[in-house]
Amino acid sequence: MATDAAQATGAPVSDEQFRAEIRGWLHDALTGPFAEAVGTGGEGREHEAHELRREWERHLGRAGWIGLGWPTEYGGRPATLAQQVIYHEEYARAGAPGRLGHMSEQLLGPTLLAFGTPEQKARFLPGITSGEDIWCQGYSEPDAGSDLAGVRTRAERRGDSYVITGQKVWTSLAHLADWCFVLCRTDPDSTRHAGLSYLLVPMDQPGVTVRPITQLTGTSEFNEVFFDGAVAAVEHRVGAEGEGWKVAMGTLGFERGVSTLGQQIGFRRRLDAVIARAHENGAWQEPALRDRLVEAYIGLEVMRHSAVRLLASAGAGLSGLEASISKLQWATWNRSLGELAVDVEGAGALLTGPGYELDDAQTHFLFSRANTIYGGSNEIQRNIIAERLLGLPR
């Protein structure tokens, strides 16, 4: 796994040097050519500053900040687990833009490192670490949401290719992505988890149509993707034919570990902003609101201690179970903070811009409803915890 590789290589710099380096680099970049990118592209802001953020990916890649802990032969950079955490912390603290490459780096990269052939690694990982290739994830379908094993998108083998027919949904970044990693059914007679394969599909081809979904925020970060005779090369199948479920599940949640503390710094910035606003407009003087604000602070502290504890004990990444606990915690917490942000504003939060432009509190309030649905809904996480952690019967 990626982090093992890094630890085996040994990091050439101390944690303090590493922190100073990334901090200085981010400062230079974000006060210089990318000043306008600061704060763009976060949750509920995926629609912002695409061109600049695409360039930002390349800038990150050129400086060697993508693929920390990955083998250097693929453009990775040696970094210990602690340094990967530091990178995410500094990234969040600097207010650097939301990553267009996060699915490339956090989901596909580890999957290829774990399951890819040497040829696939050599073909695809450098495009990720250079920031050149943007990937999207083709898992969910209209009839396969929480029940992902219900995938029906069909891939039919024809010589050296697969021909793909079907529909994916909730595909973030599909309109910008160069590639999509797609879970599809290669055995037409199979059901459920068997008979699925994991294919790497180029987005720029006639058989692929992307249609944005307008969300309750009025903006679009997600898309529907229609495959109608789209083609993927057989050599771009990750894992054996019919083993796609194992590949897709193998790395779900794997990389969350190192990014969790960085994510929490983002949460802390939001919480601080809401508390500052409450002091400014007098909401802090309302005992009920103040109580909720303090509870939010306490909830974030609990998540921080949980993350530190897991990182200290787990070494490399989180198990699926720990990822479920962490997802349930942060999704629920962030959704509550979104509600609180609007309650702190009071009735003033009812006014938007002329084109339904939303401020931070409004965006947080509305977009955070997605947190407890995507990536495994709260209900699915509870099933996983109840059955696999507590051992309750099915």
Name which of 240 and 294 has its Cβ closer to other proteins: 294
Q: Is 387 in the site for other proteins (CB under 8 A)?
A: yes
Residue 13's nearest CA partner among 93, 97, 96, 86 is 86
Q: Is 59 in the site for other proteins (CB under 8 A)?
A: no
Helix and strand element counts for the chain (H, E): 13, 8
Q: Is 27 in the site for other proteins (CB under 8 A)?
A: no
Q: Is 189 in the site for other proteins (CB under 8 A)?
A: no
Per-residue b or e along 169-205, where b marks 16 or more CB atoms closer than 10 Å to that residue's CB: bbbbbbbbbebbbbbbbbeeeeeebebbbbbbbbbee
Q: How far is the CB of 271 from other proteins (least distance, A)?
A: 9
Q: How far is the CB of 325 from other proteins (least distance, A)?
A: 5
Residue 67 structure tokens: 């693929």
Pairing of β 135-138 and β 179-185: parallel
Hey, which residues are catalytic here?
Answer: 255
Name which of 58 and 93 has its Cβ closer to other proteins: 93
Q: How far apart are CA 273 and CA 267, in angstroms?
A: 10
Q: How far is the CB of 362 from other proteins (least distance, A)?
A: 23
Q: Which of residues 355-384 bind other proteins (CB under 8 A)?
A: 379, 381-383
Q: How far apart are CA 23 and CA 78, in angstroms?
A: 17
Binding mask 263-302 for other proteins (x = CB under 8 A): -xx--x---x--x--------------xx-xxx-xx-xxx
Binding mask 61-100 for other proteins (x = CB under 8 A): --------------------xx--xx--x---x-------
Task: Choose which of 303, 337, 340, 341 interacts with other proteins (CB under 8 A).
Answer: 303
Residue type, 97: P
Name which of 228 and 272 has its Cβ closer to other proteins: 272
| Contact partners, residue 134, CB within 8 Å, separation at least 6 | 54, 57, 100, 101, 104, 173, 176, 177, 178, 179
Question: For residue 19, with 0-12 CB atoms within 10 Å meaning exposed, 13-18 middle and 19 or more buried, which class applies?
Answer: middle
Q: Is 20 in the site for other proteins (CB under 8 A)?
A: no
Contact residues: other proteins, CB under 8 A: 15, 81-82, 85-86, 89, 93, 261, 264-265, 268, 272, 275, 290-291, 293-295, 297-298, 300-306, 308-309, 311-312, 325, 328-329, 379, 381-383, 385-387, 389-394
